[in-house]
Amino acid sequence: MKTFTLPDLGEGLAEAEIVAWQVGEGDKVVLDQPLLSVETAKAIVDVPAPFAGKVVKLYARVGDIVPLGGALVDIDDGAPDDTGTVVGDSHVAATPTKDKPSANVAPAGKPAPVAVRAAPAVRALASRLGVELATLAGSGPDGAITSADVEAAARHGAPAAPEAQALRGPRRAMAQNMAISHAEVVPVLLVDDADIHAWPKGEDATWRLMRAMVAACRAVPALNAWFDGKALARRVFEHVDIGIALDTEEALFVPVIRHAEKLDRARCRAELNALKDRVRARSLAPAQLKGHTITLSNFGMFAGRYASPVVMPPTVAIVGAGRARLEPVAVGDAIGLHRRLPISITFDHRACTGAEAARFLAALLADLELAE
């Protein structure tokens, strides 16, 4: 009697769910016949019989989650009791025949092949990585070769992969915030283009974007708000505090320009420059990174036309500006070249409607397209 346990399926998983049994108690099975199907994180995998015999007992039912090494089935193979933990052991015939030699009896003058104990998934992995299983010493039960053995052999002689480093400081906070946004926000994206052909040469694009955001917030206050998803409560603001996404080598920072509705061009640029200097010097007070009511990401200064900027709770909207370019446009009955600025808006659909977001975008475009 042998007890067959859940083997290493080559995906580094600690458990698998039983999807279906291909055999029942009392059935006779042959080597490598499918016994059951299990579901892993990536696929449904058939697990073959490691030896022939009669199925005596099934240890788990469909839907059960079995840990790695957990008992699956007892098979009576007519041999003394042993424990089988490897899928697809090399089969050794009991008695060689005249027509065909035994699996471990080599033709005269040739050495007997070495029996390799490895699961089918491990064999497939070795084939993909170009590793010869017969050259490996297995670290698994009874000398079975595991996926870790194969991967280690594949890495031998190759440059070592860099060791993973835990994220720290602002980059760690950024990663945590992005996970929060992904879990909590219901994002919807709107995109359009602003015709900025009328702008004077050398116009301050960030100032114009902030001014247009203030105008849009005045027209549609629903996007200048905070939303509490647990309480299903919304707070709409009269003032406009704009969080400006600033890129650094360490991470993304979002300092806040308070009361943007009160700033003219010169004061806005002065405050923005001061914030940039404090970000580079890491001298920002924590309060200067909190409390914005809406966000701006001017990613177009690097590259890209449109994006799906990430809304960070409790805010409900973020405006993204892409790289402006000359494009052909209809000018009366003729074609002209105008500078057009790609605009993206992501909004949390829990807090505002699509119509509100579209009206906000329309107001934003209208202000951007003014000459001054």
Q: Are residues 173 and 141 in the same domain?
A: no
Q: Are residues 133 and 281 in the same domain?
A: no
CA nearest neighbour of 87 among 36, 154, 40, 39: 36
Task: Write down the pLDDT at residue 116.
Answer: 65
User: Is 42 within a domain?
Assistant: yes
Task: Write down the pLDDT at residue 204.
Answer: 93
Q: What is the mean pLDDT of residues 256-281?
A: 91
Structurally, the chain folds into a number of domains equal to 2
Is the pLDDT confidence value at 7 over 90? Answer: no
The CATH number covering residue 24 comes to 2.40.50.100
Q: Are residues 136 and 188 in the same domain?
A: no
Of 73-82, 98-107, 307-316, which one has max mean pLDDT? 307-316
User: Is 316 within a domain?
Assistant: yes
- 162: tokens are 């860099």
Is the pLDDT confidence value at 369 over 50? Answer: yes
User: Is 161 within a domain?
Assistant: no
Report the phi/psi class of residue 312: left, alpha or beta, with left for phi > 0 and alpha for psi in -120 to 50: beta
User: Is 97 within a domain?
Assistant: no
Q: What is the rounded (10 degree) CA torsion for 267, 272, 277, 280?
A: 170
Chain centroid to Cα 41, Å, comes to 14
CA nearest neighbour of 174 among 312, 293, 3: 312
Q: Are residues 127 and 178 in the same domain?
A: no
pLDDT top residue among 111 and 303? 303
Q: Is the peptide bond before 101 cis (omega within 30 degrees of 0)?
A: no
Q: Are residues 120 and 237 in the same domain?
A: no
User: Is 15 within a domain?
Assistant: yes
pLDDT top residue among 263 and 130? 263
Average pLDDT, the chain: 83
d(CA 367, CA 370): 5
Tens of pLDDT along 31-53?
Answer: 989 898 886 654 567 889 988 99
Q: Are residues 259 and 359 in the same domain?
A: yes
The CATH number covering residue 176 comes to 3.30.559.10
d(CA 250, CA 282): 10
Q: Are residues 206 and 60 in the same domain?
A: no
User: Is 104 within a domain?
Assistant: no
Q: Are residues 194 and 337 in the same domain?
A: yes
Domain range for residue 193? 169-368
- 307: tokens are 């994006």
pLDDT top residue among 206 and 19? 206
291, 333 contact by CB (below 8 A):
no
Q: Are residues 180 and 148 in the same domain?
A: no
Q: Are residues 213 and 331 in the same domain?
A: yes
Is the pLDDT confidence value at 67 over 60? Answer: yes
pLDDT band at 112; cut points 50, 70, 90? very low
21, 66 contact by CB (below 8 A):
no
User: Is 220 within a domain?
Assistant: yes
Is the pLDDT confidence value at 165 over 50? Answer: yes
Q: Are residues 239 and 270 in the same domain?
A: yes
- 183: tokens are 């879990």
CA 220-289-367 angle, to 5 degrees, is: 30
User: Is 281 within a domain?
Assistant: yes
Q: Are residues 234 and 346 in the same domain?
A: yes
